[in-house]
Amino acid sequence: MKRRIWISICILLGCGAVFAIGALEDAIKTKPELTSLLPEGALLSIEARDFGSLLRDWNTSEEKRAWLTSDNYSAFSTSRLFTRLSQAQDEFSAAAGLPADGSLLEKVVGKQSCLGLYDIGNLEFVYVTRLEQQAIENTPLWQTRAKFEQRTEAGTAFYVHKDAQSSRVAAFAALDGWLILGTREDLVAGVLDRLAGKASQNLAGEEWFVEAVKQAAGERGDLRMVLNLEKIVPSPYFRSYWVQRNVTEMKQYSSAVSDLYRSSQSYREQRVLVRRAGLAAVSHGDVRTLAAIAPEDAAFYAAQASPDAENLLRSLRDNLLEVRPDRKAASYTTAPTAVAAENAGSAAMLDISIDTAPVAAKQADAYAPLRALLAAQQPDTSLEVFSSRAPRDGVFVSLQTAMVVSAAQAWDENAVRQALTQALLPDLTTGKLGVNWEKRSSAGATYLALDGAVPLYVAVNGKQLLLANDSVLMEHMLARGQKAISADGKDSVTYAALFRHTQEQGNFRRLMAQLDLAGHRGTTDQATITAGETPAFFSGDAASFSRAFSRLESERIEEKDQGATVTQTVTYQWMR
């Protein structure tokens, strides 16, 4: 009896083991690394753990509804980029024989999904997603496959159609619960080869891809994008449409990985940028001690390690020292006015010599002493702080700005005062009126105040130089500086920035309206814009984008320059 029981147990265990091994084999077989299914040569790949969930969340979000009815979307829909994307969409629709719209996307979206982009200009891609067989058969593509030309690759049929007018191709296939959709016949065939094990080379095996993914430590995000920057950055399309306009800076990187992690309270984007071989770190040091000086209610602050002296001077001029608007040089691309033409000259001037160049008055560089001082001090970190103040009279929003420059050696207060005086003299006075300094004290610290019409406050605190255009902001930062704790030196942060969106929305919109009124453009609303009318840029376009994402409380970024790689953590905090 016992023997029979043991035999039964052994049979059950054996069957269970066989079943478990079979289930494991099925799991391994049906869940391959998605980028290993893509042919080599992709410029970038985008992977999603659950693409369907991401799409549903976006389609049902208040942000999508608000954005589609905003001035920002209205302006975007008339842009050249939008036109090019719409043209490609229409061409693909013609090739597929059905509308390539949101309805089609909802039907071809599954859970595990991956897209590989092979040509930016022509938008050539292949898309792979995990779908139940019944869901595949319910897609409009599968139901209209009789209109496509049938091909065979690795023993599997796939379907291709080419639009004669645009030469755009639509191709798709289905195999073992995978739906493959592409704009090139060879890309769809390539995925089928890799699913069948007929091809060994793939995107996941390319050297640049392996190196990029290796540097992205940690668990893969809900969405992952891997980019071959060595090929993307030289593209004219990247230079034309890259919104950051920092192509020169991006040339130092060979690849990048960006992971998005979502929760109900925040979205976190983890980026890793891989430098080209042989290039050294750009930033050294730690900005955490300096960033702690920024007031807790500041609208925006940014702290940078290893700032360039010339860039610092430019920021000082733009934020605090320039008191006159930029002057534009006269344009000679149009015909002269009638008055100018009458004063062009006459026959009585024939004896006047014209072969001698006129004497050009030498323009002294008022900022030369300040430029030399910044260079000599060798700044190691800098901080910019911006705050806004609600108008008491309900009219104007005031902006408060401050900068802190930390150097390798202590600042000389007299040298700072003289350099600033020299810089301000040409714009303020010819008799040195309004460029005298007076001492003030607050919270146990002293600072200098300019006695003229231009608000400027300066404090020297050892190796730190503080400048502000508001005395309250200056005193607040001096008080925080006394309490700031030095960073521990571990895991140095080379850039840190924070923008408090919810706090600043009201003042931001008031300011945007003022800017448009100053330019003689009234505020607009998308609902009141007539056909063909462009919305006001500040109060319409920019402000409506803020309104569409009004639930976004803040955005924070931290960057660590580690030489071979640069890691960035961007956190979007949502309102509770």
Percent of the chain exceeding pLDDT 70 equals 82
Q: How far is residue 530 from each of residues 65, 92, 336, measured CA to CA in Å?
A: 21, 31, 36
Confidence of residue 449 (pLDDT cuts 50, 70, 90): very high
Give me the sign of the Cα torsion angle 20, 25, 26, 28. Answer: positive
pLDDT tens digits for 51-105?
A: 999 999 999 999 999 999 999 999 999 999 999 999 999 999 999 999 999 999 9
Report which of residues 545 and 14 the model is more confident about.
545
| Residue 568, both tokens | 């960035």
Question: Which residues are CB-neighbours of 130 under 8 A, at least 6 positions away?
Answer: 30, 110, 111, 112, 113, 177, 178, 179
CB 174 within 8 A of CB 110: no
Report which of residues 17 and 346 the model is more confident about.
346
Instruction: State if pTM tops 0.95.
Output: no
| Residue 13, both tokens | 């265990």
Count of other CB atoms within 10 angstroms of residue 464? 22
| Residue 454, both tokens | 């231009």
Per-residue pLDDT at 489: 67
Count of other CB atoms within 10 angstroms of residue 81? 12
Confidence of residue 189 (pLDDT cuts 50, 70, 90): very high
What is the rounded distance in angstroms from the CA atom of residue 223 to the CA atom of residue 261?
A: 7
Confidence of residue 40 (pLDDT cuts 50, 70, 90): very high
Per-residue pLDDT at 365: 85
pLDDT tens digits for 191-206?
A: 999 999 998 899 999 9
The overall average pLDDT reported for the chain is 86
CB 299 within 8 A of CB 259: no
Q: Which of 548, 545, 524, 543 is nearest to 534 (CA)?
A: 524
* Residue found by looking up tokens 């369907």 in the block: 52
Per-residue pLDDT at 49: 94
CB 453 within 8 A of CB 399: no
The conformational region for residue 360 under phi > 0 = left, psi -120 to 50 = alpha, else beta, is beta
Per-residue pLDDT at 207: 96
What is the rounded distance in angstroms from the CA atom of residue 38 to the CA atom of residue 155?
A: 18
Q: Which of 557, 50, 114 is nearest to 304 (CA)?
A: 557
Per-residue pLDDT at 14: 38
State yes or no: pLDDT of 528 exceeds 50: no
Question: What 8-state DSSP symbol labels residue 400?
Answer: E
What is the rounded distance in angstroms from the CA atom of residue 467 to the CA atom of residue 450?
A: 11
What is the rounded distance in angstroms from the CA atom of residue 368 to the CA atom of residue 370?
A: 6
Q: Where are the domains of the chain?
A: 32-201, 207-275, 288-321+366-493, 499-574
Per-residue pLDDT at 488: 67
Confidence of residue 29 (pLDDT cuts 50, 70, 90): very low
State yes or no: pLDDT of 117 exceeds 50: yes
What is the rounded distance in angstroms from the CA atom of residue 535 to the CA atom of residue 124?
A: 33
pLDDT tens digits for 335-375?
A: 555 555 555 566 666 666 666 666 665 667 889 999 999 99
What is the rounded distance in angstroms from the CA atom of residue 178 to the CA atom of residue 160?
A: 17
What is the rounded distance in angstroms from the CA atom of residue 506 to the CA atom of residue 433?
A: 38
Report which of residues 29 and 261 the model is more confident about.
261
State yes or no: pLDDT of 318 exceeds 90: yes
Question: Which residues are CB-neighbours of 572 under 8 A, at least 6 positions away?
Answer: 266, 267, 268, 269, 552, 554, 555
State yes or no: pLDDT of 7 exceeds 90: no
Per-residue pLDDT at 335: 52
Q: What is the DSSP string of 443-467?
A: TTEEEEEE-SSS--EEEEETTEEEE
- Mean pLDDT confidence for 166-187: 96
| Residue 359, both tokens | 């004497």
**Lowest mean pLDDT across 11-15, 182-186, 392-396, 425-429:** 11-15
Residues in the chain: 576
Helices (H) and strands (E) in the chain, counts: 21, 20
| Residue 361, both tokens | 């008055």
Q: Which of 482, 406, 420, 495 is nearest to 454 (CA)?
A: 420
| Residue 543, both tokens | 């402000």
In 3-state terms, the chain is what percent helix, strand and coil (to 5)? 40, 25, 35
**Start-end of H helices in 185-285:** 185-195, 207-215, 229-232, 236-241, 247-250
